[in-house]
Structure 1
């Protein structure tokens, strides 16, 4: 139905006000650039954004997003402001497909929580597809629906203090990580539907610092981090029955051929994935089914349709999104935080980098020779001006005798940005999220840079 124009009520933001009357299984697709703000409000009916229900009468302010407000029945939506694009579209096919997958996952969770076998696990879903296929959207919907579902089966959830599932969301996309700053992979328990403004819950995430926007910079290091994360998650499931039943939802990058395909297969193996959801990619679906069949495992490959509301993000938008994610880490999504600029003694900290550049192929070497460049070699870096504007990962642990394997397996406590290196005074000026001493003296460098 066409929108109607309203006059702004007292207390509402100034600007255009439009009211949309959505039909059942339709969605309102909205695009808002980073330099604009739009407020949405549910006036009547029911509606959700990526699985998170909108409270009736409550307002959400959107900026720098491309999202869709969906309703299963009908809804009246008010838009205050001037979005870059705003239109209604039918979305039943994609959303019904996502709901059917959620229903299948629920059955696995129920079976896992009621069994006495410690080896029976809940669903472990890996969402794959090309760039801008809507992978993050599907992950948000699956996690939000899981949180909204009742987990009171056999009293296990009640005994654990939960009345709903708490799945773990894993983001392996180092270029466009949706939870932690770019250059990282992370895992975080999702105990509430993913808020369209605040995003994923950021409390106590398990983070590993890779330091690059593409895994192609050092695939061996990337694989080592995924394996380290998998070991920690496996231990968590051993200690927590409800966590084992709730399972994992894993987001991946949009690189699906060549080395990217190899990294997908590695993630399936390392994280013990049993369901691979492929979004709108016939060739990849066929490849993965053939691979699973040759391995003789129990991995199920399902194809999902791509939502018609998925928007292509150009290189500039992605770069701005990465910069905004780093800025949000230091200043908050609403600039509500006050980061701290401090100077540290260069001699008190150790900066490392994993790998020493590209390893030459054996075919390019003399007959019988092999490359000695180890992509997992941990090399110390001097405190020079080359580090200025570098984003460094602060690793857990402070033992000066840590070996290469320890540095490769240590989670990340946070990040800092080097603003200036004063070699004459032996000082390094950094921007850190809060005042006080850093939690560790082990810093990991990559190619990530940022200008405040």
Structure 2
């Protein structure tokens, strides 16, 4: 099936109205396609248009670990998007009667709050494909639980943004995403081969071909690296001018415990506690709620992120860069990955 983005929006709108009247789940839309096809922009557009048409919250899931639309690179996550998510530009908020035009002019500016985030700790899915698949299943299950708790939220459906790796192992991981989220519609941007493969696989009840966005631009590997660094710096600066120092928190060694998720010889997932070593400096770590037992960290969502700035073995203290001020940590449990921020 081939449609235009406007045609897709009209179709989804009618399905949401029908779901609202029948108190059933609305459409789950998964967006697939190669890098630089316009998937993130289409995600924002569909979310924005859903808010314009119904003004009911809608769920958005982002599983592109390379760039991180909702949170930092190396994460997957989801958020509930409402009309309050419509971000103002230069202090000018969209008027209710002019929201559609405002979105078109500003590339559908949305801000994310109350995120549900899992930390994979890598920007390449091939490095931790088993962990990616595990967290995808966890995320899909959590969103299903949220829908079950609210009929209007369920009727709005879900928009799922995926990464641009769609060949070989990347294609197989895309199929894992489709199996986890069970979308009613898969939208394929600008890739006829991928479209044909998904139709052949009968990946979803409806597979729709869309043209690559004319606004999408080709981005080099260097540009993507710079964008990831900028995303991390923005998280820790909270939009504070660069001249302002980042917040720092100094704690004793015993105030922080570090863990890594690993697979054993039987491919079973385990939580491994790591010893603090100096080479961990500049590593981004994910703070998790204190679990009843370490093994529960397998299902832990992220409270926030810190960056290890320095480790002093003589004084047995370490310094974190933090996105907010404070002298103590809400939790001492941290998940490690391989994301670093050298500027910290």
Q: TM-score range by the shorter chain?
A: 0.7 to 0.9
Asked which structure has the greater CA Rg, the reply is: 1
Whole-Å Cα distance in 2 between the matches of residues 206 and 197 of structure 1? 25
What does 1:142-153 correspond to in 2, within 5 Å? 142-149=46-53, 151=54
What is the aligned partner in structure 2 of residue 345 from structure 1?
252
What is the aligned partner in structure 2 of residue 107 from structure 1?
14
Deviation at 1:272, TM superposition (A): 2.1
What does 1:187-266 correspond to in 2, within 5 Å? 187-192=78-83, 194-195=86-87, 199-266=109-176
1:274 pairs with one of 178, 184, 189: 184
What does 1:284-303 correspond to in 2, within 5 Å? 284-292=194-202, 299-303=205-209
Task: Decide whether the 8 Å contact of 2:271 with 2:294 is kept in 1.
Answer: no
Whole-Å Cα distance in 1 between the matches of residues 247 and 134 of structure 2? 32
What does 1:390-405 correspond to in 2, within 5 Å? 390-399=283-292, 401-403=293-295
Whole-Å Cα distance in 1 between the matches of residues 278 and 169 of structure 2? 33
Unpaired runs of at least 5, structure 2: 91-108
> Residues 142-165 of structure 1: CA distance to partner in whole angstroms, max 9, x if unpaired?
01111111x2xxxxxxxxxxxx13
Deviation at 1:250, TM superposition (A): 0.7
Unpaired runs of at least 5, structure 1: 1-93, 152-163, 357-370
1:380 pairs with one of 259, 262, 273: 273
Task: Decide whether the 8 Å contact of 1:126 with 1:277 is kept in 2.
Answer: yes
Deviation at 1:424, TM superposition (A): 2.1
TM norm structure 2: 0.88
Equivalent position SS for 1:165 = coil
Task: Decide whether the 8 Å contact of 2:283 with 2:338 is kept in 1.
Answer: yes
Equivalent position SS for 1:377 = strand
2:301 pairs with one of 404, 411, 420: 411
Task: Decide whether the 8 Å contact of 1:143 with 1:194 is kept in 2.
Answer: no
What is the aligned partner in structure 2 of residue 10 from structure 1?
none
> Residues 350-390 of structure 1: CA distance to partner in whole angstroms, max 9, x if unpaired?
1111226xxxxxxxxxxxxxx82747332211111111000
Task: Decide whether the 8 Å contact of 2:235 with 2:323 is kept in 1.
Answer: yes
Task: Decide whether the 8 Å contact of 1:188 with 1:204 is kept in 2.
Answer: yes
- The answer to whether 1:123 aligns with 2:49 is no
Deviation at 1:331, TM superposition (A): 0.7
> Residues 196-255 of structure 1: CA distance to partner in whole angstroms, max 9, x if unpaired?
869532221111111111111111111111111112111111110111001111111001
What does 1:176-191 correspond to in 2, within 5 Å? 176-191=67-82
Equivalent position SS for 1:207 = strand
CA RMSD of aligned residues (A): 2.1
What is the aligned partner in structure 2 of residue 434 from structure 1?
324
Task: Decide whether the 8 Å contact of 2:250 with 2:320 is kept in 1.
Answer: yes
Whole-Å Cα distance in 2 between the matches of residues 375 and 417 of structure 1? 29
What does 1:362-373 correspond to in 2, within 5 Å? 372=265
Distance 1:338 1:269, change over 3 A: farther
Whole-Å Cα distance in 2 between the matches of residues 234 and 407 of structure 1? 21
Task: Decide whether the 8 Å contact of 1:113 with 1:241 is kept in 2.
Answer: yes
> Residues 37-82 of structure 1: CA distance to partner in whole angstroms, max 9, x if unpaired?
xxxxxxxxxxxxxxxxxxxxxxxxxxxxxxxxxxxxxxxxxxxxxx
Task: Decide whether the 8 Å contact of 1:339 with 1:435 is kept in 2.
Answer: no
Distance 1:182 1:129, change over 3 A: same
Task: Decide whether the 8 Å contact of 1:140 with 1:194 is kept in 2.
Answer: no
Structure with more relative contact order (C-alpha pairs < 8 Å, separation 6 or more): 2
